[in-house]
Amino acid sequence: MPLGQPVDITYIVSPMDSPFSEYLDSGYSPSDAEIPLIKALIQQKLNAIDSIDKEINDLEDSLAARKARRKANKIFIRKHQALIAPIKRLPPDILSTVFLACLPAIECPETAMTPNHPAVVISQVCHHWRQLAFDTPLLWSRIQLILPNVNCNPYYPPGEAERVTEETAALFDSFIQRLFDAATIWLNRSKGCPLSIYMEATESAAGGFVTSHLKILEGSVLMGLGKLVSLLLAESKRWEQVKFKLAAIGNDPKSQLSRLLFLTPQDVPILRKASIVISPLEVLETPMIPGVESEATRFWYGIAMGTIHGQALQSLTLACPKAATKLKALQVNWGGLTELSLRPYMWGSARKGGTHLTTDEALDFLRLCPNLRRCNLALGNGSLLTNWGAPLPARYSSTMPSAVAPGQGDRPVCRLPYLHSLILREDSGRTDGLASALDLPSLRSFTQISSAYPPPVGFPPSYSDPEVERAWISGIPLVEWVQRFGHTITSIDFKHAGAPQHTFEKCLEDLPNLISLTIRSTFSTSWDMSSSWGLASGSDSFLKRLTPEVIEDGDAVTVAPGCLCPKLEDLALSCFSASVPVQLVFNEAVVLEFLTGRAKASLETVPEVSRVSKLRYISVGFANPKVVDIEQELLRRGFNLEGFVGEWGYPDPPKPRSYLQHPQISDFAMDDFSK
């Protein structure tokens, strides 16, 4: 269009459809006649924008209105769906059972008596649920009391001791009051139903130092503990389950926590389950010397612990500073126990002494409990082990009773017809001879945990000498247990650092019905202390013994004999622990071969006579960083992983070495530069 001629601007639609398009973004200077036309074009577009903005606003208002109507309809639907929700139709007794299923275990943090407790949350849903929650006293029957350990450092800065102590005492008093109020509410709402109580508390701030400012703190701690203990004792007839972890000053009449142990059988008529772990706090007692009884030791020996003498008691867990002979004298209803966990130790000290329960003493307790179903015993000779299992110096040897008494063959057999789970922890003793003295026809689950490790130098021993081999093999009491009970055992949990692999494999050969296997320590072939922590070479040959050899001949599939544990379903081999310097680790290729072999050998096309059980769970650690995604590789090979759970442990990748590091310059050095 030639310049200077009239232009009908109404036909312009596109933003760039302009008679001046060829001059846009150039140095062209319009004439005086063209300027009004350009202004008219601009105004036209401004008017168009206003019109468009109005349309947008109208559309947005319309969209917002539609969104609001949609939201209102969704709320309408949700509220009306709630009216016909299945849970609304549940009768109150079923609904209260659902409420009870929401309660966590008594030790869990979620059981703390706070606004986040499940019972409180349930009671705030609606009026009906609130009333039902209040009418379900079992919802409020779990009392958890976990008290803080008060810092009683007597060496405060000058002039600060009194202020800090008073502030600490005030904080403790406030905490105790909140806990007391919550416990009172829970006890009231639980009405008259049986109680489960969990308490962790210490009297560490109430003993030891006797400075003037700590007297304030001591009074606050003892008063607060006494307040809570009195509240619990007032309801002792309702105790059904108690779990106490107490650090108490037993030889001091001021002790409040010890009052929990001094009840009579009449005070706890329905107490069915008791777990009591006592750590004495006589921090200024004489050193721990085996065979030398301190005043505190004699005090704990004399405590009758009548709280656990009730005739209703069925489950007892006890770890306390009493020798086994003193424990046996307690008037516990041993014959009524179905669960027993026992760890007596010797000395009254802030640090626990050695476990003191010999094989013969363990047998004495077992004979008292013919109805046991589950048992957990810690065996020891009263000594303390060094890092590598060496006993205390020889000067103490004359005072330490042996964990294995002579004349083992003369022991009468103890029959426990109902015992199906047995856990033995060898703190410093041995279980030799114990298996031969037991008759356990129902034993299914066996756990053996040894705390000792082989020496780091010159280990493993050479097996070329038969005498050396026999001596080391005899150090694994699992052999004796498998020989005696292997035909009934279906679950093994084992830790014996440096055990010979071939010996353990021989044990597995005698466990034809094994379903679950857990190994918590490495074998002697991997016990190489020169390796980096946690990166020892794996016992791949052991996993190969568990791998079936599948023979495929056309459509016919068979499994060669010789595979260990054909009924195995659960396998845990990656039990990483900071206390074990060498870990049991494997290579990815060997693990894949094991899983593939097990999967093929468990198919229904395999004859039942040679078919192995389908693996449900595996936990394994690897020697090297991750290269292959195990589960994706199994899927790629066509295996069905439904119902299978795998946990894989890989070492952390090495951190790149930095040759240029941030300089470490102290403040006083910087001050020199600022002057």
Mean pLDDT value across residues 10-16:
50
140 with 194: CB under 8 angstroms? no
Cβ partners under 8 Å of residue 18, min gap 6: 12, 24, 41
Pairing of strands 516-519, 438-439: unpaired
Q: What are phi and psi of 282, to 5 degrees?
A: -80, 75
Closest CA to 135 of 185, 105, 93, 194: 93
Q: Chain-wide mean pLDDT for the chain? A: 78
Other beta carbons less than 10 A from residue 609's beta carbon: 7
Among 25-29, 48-52, 234-238, 408-412, name the one with the lowest average pLDDT. Answer: 408-412
Q: Are 240 and 195 in contact (CB under 8 A)?
A: yes
4-13, 64-73, 110-119, 363-372: range with lowest mean pLDDT: 4-13
How far is the CA of 610 from the CAs of 177, 206, 420, 490, 636, in angstroms?
66, 67, 28, 19, 26
Local confidence band at 339 (pLDDT 50, 70, 90 cut-offs): very high
Tell me if 339 sits within 8 A of 316, measured CB to CB: yes
Contact yes or no for 389/436 (Cβ under 8 A):
no
Does the pLDDT value for residue 270 go beyond 50?
A: yes
pLDDT for the residue 605: 85
Per-residue pLDDT, averaged over 511-524, amounts to: 87
Q: Which amino acid, residue 324?
A: A
Annotate 128-142 with DSSP letters as a single string.
Answer: HHHHHHHT-GGGG-E
What is the amino acid identity at position 398?
A: S
Reported as a single tens digit per residue, the pLDDT across 466-491 is 554 455 445 577 888 999 999 999 99
Tens digit of each residue's pLDDT (9 = 90 or more) over 360-416 = 888 989 999 999 999 999 887 665 543 333 333 332 233 333 344 434 556 789 999
Query: Who contacts 243 (Cβ-Cβ below 8 Å, separation ≥6)?
Result: 106, 107, 197, 198, 199, 274, 275, 276, 317
Please report which confidence band the pLDDT of residue 657 belongs to, taking 50, 70 and 90 as the band edges.
low
Say whether pLDDT at 138 is over 60: yes
Q: Is 643 exposed, middle or buried (0-12, 13-18, 19+ CB in 10 A)?
A: exposed
Region 525-546 average pLDDT: 60
Instruction: Say whether pLDDT at 663 is over 90.
Output: no
* 27, pLDDT greater than 60: yes
The two tokens of residue 659 are 């040759």
Question: Which backbone phi and psi does 146 adopt, to 5 degrees?
Answer: -115, 110
Length of the chain, in residues: 675
Using alpha carbons only, give the angle 190, 195, 200 rounded to the nearest 5 degrees: 115
Distance CA 444, CA 513 (A): 10
Dump pLDDT digits (tens) for 537-561. Answer: 447 888 889 999 888 777 777 888 8
Average pLDDT over residues 251-268: 85
